[in-house]
Amino acid sequence: MHIRHVSSSRTVRRALASAGIVGLALGAAACGSSDSGSGSSGGTDKIGVALITKDSSNPFFVAMQNGAKADAAKQNVNLTVASGKQEGDDQGQITAIEDAIARGDKGILITPMSTGVNAAIKKARDAGLYVIALDTPPDPANTVDITFATDNRLAGQLIGKWAASTLDGKPATIAMLDLFNDKIVSVDYNRDQGFLEGMGIDVADGKKNGDEAKTGKYTGGKGGDYTIVCNEPSNGAEDGGRTAMENCLSKNPKINVVYTINEPAAVGASTALKAAGVNDAIVVSIDGGCAGVKAVKDGTIGATAQQYPLKMATMGMEAIASIARGGTKPTTSEGLDFFNTGVALVTDKPAAGVDSITTDAASKICWG
């Protein structure tokens, strides 16, 4: 994924607009097929679709599963939901892919765990299944037919810009709470590096966390000095976020900017900050789940980038059903190698130069 330096607000509008257009096109295709279905028996055949998430406990994936289940009946889709046991369980996903092939499903919606599942995805496509990656683009992107995802890079850039603007020229002492640091996952580096790009920090290799200069100048907002204290793995969970934050604070208690991979990690981090008596740190995150939006509202998190997992799952399923009934294939958003399902910055403290929506608006469209 290439690095973009265009104005984020323009990119958001463009992304949202293109999402709307393709959404309409998909909707039309789905309508068309169900119309023809009422005339002939073709459309009434149940289409088998497998939804394979990373785990079944992250609210993000739970929202995805529930949304897809609710929509499956309407689309006359036979949906099978499966997942890995936890983040990092490649084998669980591979088994689920093999099951889908054996079951004769027409397509697979998958949030790929890592490059470890690429071979299994290829096997599914060779067997004639249409594979859509949800949320996490695989590496390389053409491993699947198409990806329906949040632009994680843009999501990172939005919170980075907001953090830089909010600092108002003050020095930034930054803690980076990533997902892992022993595995390379695209969502991990896109959010992390996107955040730094948003801050206006040179990221060196844009696909590698932690290789940037540890000190220097950030150019976002009014600009100023920065220090990156740590890159710690949080596993995207509360207890991991807490341990990671404690480790970072032990290295440097003056941390005033905390990037977190997702809101559960942010909640854990803020527990650690509170315990250490640090009240003025800017915590930013990505996800936009209802709990996360609430955390922004009560000030635990300063700003979060909201994404729309329900839309990813339902649109993905509708696309597979449509293709199986002779409809057209979806295409990627303009300028991206995936189909962007949209992202918006949520905060009650808007910053100059960054478009955002309020927590009240965000809580109406949040998930989980």
Partner 1 sequence: MQRLQGLLHSFPWLSPLILFVVTFAFFSILNPRFAEPGGISILIQQTAIVAALGIGQTLIILTAGIDLSVGAITILAMMIMATLAANNGVPGLLALLIGIAMAVAAGFLNGILVTKVNLPPFIVTLGTLSIFTAIALLYSGGSSIQQDKLPRLLNFLGEGFGPRGGLRLTWGVVLVVILYLIVGFALGQTAWGRHVYAVGDDPESARLSGVASKRVLLSVYTVAGLIYGFAAWALIGRAGAATPNAITDANLASITAVVIGGTSLFGGRGRLIGTLLGALIVQSFSFGLSLAGVNQQWRLLATGVLVLVAVTVDQWIRKVKS
- Residues in contact with partner 1 by the rule CB under 8 A: 55-59, 62, 85-87, 180-182, 230, 232-233, 235-239, 242-243, 246-247, 250-251, 253, 264, 267-268, 270-271, 275-277, 291, 294-295, 298, 368
Q: Is the peptide bond before 350 cis (omega within 30 degrees of 0)?
A: no
Choose between 105 and 263: whose C-beta lies nearer to partner 1: 263
Query: What is the distance between the alpha carbons of residues 228 and 234, in angstroms, rounded to a whole number?
Result: 17
In this structure, is the dihedral angle defined by the CA atoms of residues 350, 224, 152 and 245, taken in order, positive or negative?
negative
Choose between 33 and 270: whose C-beta lies nearer to partner 1: 270
Least distance from partner 1 to the Cβ atom of residue 253, Å: 7
Choose between 65 and 322: whose C-beta lies nearer to partner 1: 65
Nearby residues of 146 by Cβ (< 8 Å), 6 or more positions away: 132, 133, 319, 329, 330, 331, 332, 338, 339
Least distance from partner 1 to the Cβ atom of residue 185, Å: 13
Least distance from partner 1 to the Cβ atom of residue 341, Å: 21
Choose between 337 and 348: whose C-beta lies nearer to partner 1: 348
Contact 194, 153 (CB under 8 A): yes
Choose between 109 and 124: whose C-beta lies nearer to partner 1: 109
Q: Kindly write down the DSSP assignment for every residue of 196-255, as one continuous string.
A: HHHHT---SSTT-TT-S-SEEEE-STT-EEEEEEEEEE-TTSHHHHHHHHHHHHHH-TT-
Least distance from partner 1 to the Cβ atom of residue 111, Å: 15
Query: What is the distance between the alpha carbons of residues 320 and 46, in angstroms, rounded to a whole number?
Result: 12
Least distance from partner 1 to the Cβ atom of residue 81, Å: 11
Choose between 86 and 91: whose C-beta lies nearer to partner 1: 86
DSSP label of 4: -
Least distance from partner 1 to the Cβ atom of residue 26, Å: 28
Burial of 111 (0-12, 13-18, 19+ CB in 10 A): buried
